[in-house]
Amino acid sequence: MARRKRLSPITGPAEDTGPVPPGPIPAIARPPVAEIAAASASQAALEQLADEVAVARREGRMVMSLPLEVIEAGHLLRDRMHHDAEDMAALKASLAARGQQTPIEVTDLGQGRFGLISGARRLAALSELAAETGEPRFGKVLCLLRSPEGAAEAYLAMVEENEIRTDLSFYERGRLVAEAVRMGLFADPAAAVRGLFGNAPPARRSKILSFVALHRALGTVLRFPTAIPEKLGLAIVAGLKADPKLADRLGAALAKAKPADAEAERRLIERALRKAPAAAAPRGREVAPGIRLEARKGRLVLSGAGVGPELAEALEAFLAARDPLE
């Protein structure tokens, strides 16, 4: 077999270019096509990063730092009626020592404004520290952007945050329910309780409904409503049911006495309840928040704040679909 010849490059006499100048060897210039491809790839990477940052911001996965003055603290009716002085002092000391550890939640209102959803205590504490110290570090607040589908969802987010971090009083819960219904966010108090406090046990939801009635009857005259204990609040509601004029008498007594503290207001209410007719014990048993069931042979009675047209329609549909032989 004939051996293949190895091909060698054709060379001519080496050109004498002189001595190599000192210094780094010049880089070989890339072709224009390579330069354009590299620039296009960098631009695409930057655009992808910008898109990912925008999505993370919209989905509330990116913490933003915003000036205090662009936050609308009154965007929602707050569930917390006032801040405890000792708790606020402790929170301010923590913020001064360690900075803000947990972001507040806001929603974009447009034109550079943001509405507060949750974190009212942190926002108030930072505002006080900024006014007291003048330090720039207290002039901004860390935020997560939320995009609730509607006002009801925004209120739910606020309630859930306070239920987890600082438990609300029954009066504050009842007040929020009453105001949410007044604003048209829910059809009635029972629907509002289900929507805002759906994770609460049935017994607690029933008590919240009772405090809705308390807020509606005496909310304008009570000076220290959040200090009313659960047992006393339920007793007031029972007294209002037994004596329709009790609300007027209590309102007049509170307006005249102007109690200076929660203890004085509580004693005044207790005296008024002792003079009121005894409330009749509710009949039947509570089968759902605001719904009592009394069953006798040939008679079924549903009563309570949760009884309304919606329940009637659901019951009618259930009975129509039910097999009478079952």
pLDDT tens-digit readout, 233-272: 999 998 888 888 888 989 899 988 899 999 999 999 998 8
Question: How many helices and strands in the chain, by DSSP H and E?
Answer: 11, 8
Greatest pairwise CA separation for the chain in angstroms = 128
H/E element, 114:
strand 113-118
Q: Could you tell me which residues come within 8 angstroms of residue 61 by beta carbon, excluding any fewer than 6 positions away?
A: 144
**CA distances, 83 to each of 77, 123, 138, 152 (Å):** 15, 12, 19, 24
In the predicted model, is pLDDT for residue 34 greater than 80? no
Distance CA 80, CA 190 (A): 21
Tokens 């069953």, residue located: 295
When pLDDT is averaged across residues 6-16 and rounded to a whole number, the result is 54
Least confident of 49-53, 112-116, 127-131: 49-53
- Quote the pLDDT of residue 282: 64
> How confident is the model over 86-104, as a mean pLDDT?
86
Place of tokens 């805002």: 196
Between 312 and 175, where is the model more confident? 175
Q: Is 112 left (phi over 0), alpha (psi -120 to 50) or beta?
A: left
158-185 per-position pLDDT tens digit = 766 665 455 678 898 898 888 888 877 7
Task: State the Cα–Cα distance between residues 108 and 64, nearest whole angstrom.
Answer: 12
| φ and ψ of 63, to 5 deg | -80, 130
Q: What is the DSSP string of 176-205?
A: HHHHHHHTTSSSSHHHHHHHHSTTS-HHHH
Distance CA 174, CA 160 (A): 15
Q: Tell me the helix, strand and coil percentages in the chain, rounded to 5.
A: 50, 15, 35
Count Cβ atoms below 10 Å from residue 84 Cβ, excluding itself.
13
Instruction: Give me the percent of the chain exceeding a pLDDT of 90.
Output: 18
**In one letter, which amino acid is 146?**
R
In the predicted model, what is the mean pLDDT of the chain?
Answer: 78
Higher pLDDT, 227 or 290: 227
Higher pLDDT, 149 or 304: 304
DSSP 7-23: P-----PPP---SPPSS
CA distance 267 to 73: 35
